Structure 1
Amino acid sequence: MFGKAGDSLRTFSLLKGMPVYEKNGDLLGEVCDIVIQESGQVSHLLLQCKGLIGNKHTVPIKNIISFGHDGILLESKELLTKYKGKPSEYTMHHDKPLMKKHTLSQIGDQLGLLDDVYFLEELGTIIGYELTDGFFSDITQGKRVIRTPHPPKIGKDAIIVSVTKLRGGKPYDEMSKLPK
């Protein structure tokens, strides 16, 4: 079912592959990535559109009617624009990818590799980063989620985040889980 935008947090991994429909019910494509601004905002969804060529298009987060569990609803296909990466934009997998990029604290501590982001649907504000130390570490210790009130500093080789609270991997963690 479709829900009202802004009801919850989303992660990129939950959005990837999700179908996007026009409000009349026509399938426009599926989410293949997110566009992240230098300010740490998710500004657009990147869609793999249907058709023989399968062009990639973007749609601004602010123009989405609703994020549902089984699909995303968009007012009109006229809101789609052909994707052209910009120097101030990043994605998880495509142009200037952030996935598996080293993540450091503001004091230079290695926190892990970026694996996912948590963001508010309606605003696109990233409020958490899911980090990994690798497959075996994830199995034995779990992934960590870092909450941050400030935008990241995204460099060529690493992401610097302001760490407020850390969750994961330790039985004495006090931070509650982020909503799914």
Structure 2
Amino acid sequence: MKLQQMIGLPVIDSRKGKRLGTVKDAWFDEHWLLRGIVMEARGWFSKFVRAVLWDDVLTCGEDAVFIIGAGSIRSMRMTEIQRSFQSGCIRLKDLPVVTIEGIQLGRVSDVYFDPYRGTQIVGYELTDGFVADLMEGRKWLRAPEDPDVFMLGEDAIIVPAMNEADLEPVAASDP
């Protein structure tokens, strides 16, 4: 599943069937493992967001995210969420992917994760910009089985020596 497909989905209490909010972002730990989902803040200028730990997410489907219950929602300071997909201090979206030889393969456009395998990122969709996306399409970089192969840093993802030809094309029909 693509992370951007999850953003905007309603968050539903599995016990009562009540809509509790909307997914606004996803947050990661220092090893870039999915820690939880971030929901909208309480007020316009609030320093707090509502978040749900990934362990409390029961199902992440194409139309809704079900959580254990309303008690799973916690209030967190925005500064506690250091790494996120699009709104934290360190954002995965638009992070450059660079080889150890100093060749930039693209920027992260989306993240693929397996909602049934836990918190593992399974791949990255890379972009070279709007025009390149139209002309050549986006590329897909499979995440390695060994997490030590990629260095997921604050300002770049560093990967072993490869070139753009080693990346897989993203099919136009991908959901």
Say yes or no: TM over 0.5. Answer: yes
Deviation at 1:70, TM superposition (A): 1.1
Identity of aligned residues (%): 26
Secondary structure at 1:62 match in 2: helix
**What is the distance in 2 between the residues matched to 1:163 and 1:130?**
18
Matching residue of 1:101: 95
CA distance in 2, matches of 1:144, 1:14: 18
Q: What is the CA distance between 1:156 and its match in structure 2?
A: 3.4
In 1, the alpha carbon distance for the partners of 2:71 and 2:121 equals 27
Any gaps of 5 or more consecutive residues in structure 2?
Answer: none
Q: How does 1:80-119 map to 2 (within 5 A)?
A: 80-84=73-77, 85-86=79-80, 89-95=82-88, 96-119=90-113
Q: Which has the higher contact order (CA 8 A, sep 6+)?
A: 1
Residues 68-114 of structure 1: CA distance to partner in whole angstroms, max 9, x if unpaired? 22111111111111133447x41122112221121112443211011
**TM, length-normalised to structure 2:** 0.80
2:21 match: 29
Flag structure 1 segments of 5+ consecutive residues without an equivalent.
1-9, 170-175
Offset of residue 33 of structure 1: 0.6
Report the equivalent of 1:43: 35
CA distance in 1 between counterparts of 2:161 and 2:59 reads 31
- 8 Å CA contact 1:19, 1:70 repeated in 2: yes
CA RMSD of aligned residues (A): 2.7
SS in 1 for 2:91: coil
Structure 1 pair 39/52, CA: closer, same or farther in 2 (3 Å)? Answer: closer
TM-score, normalised relative to structure 1: 0.78
Q: Is 1:136–2:128 an aligned residue pair?
A: no
Q: Does 1:68 align with 2:69?
A: no
Equivalent of residue 159 in structure 1, options 157, 160, 171 = 157
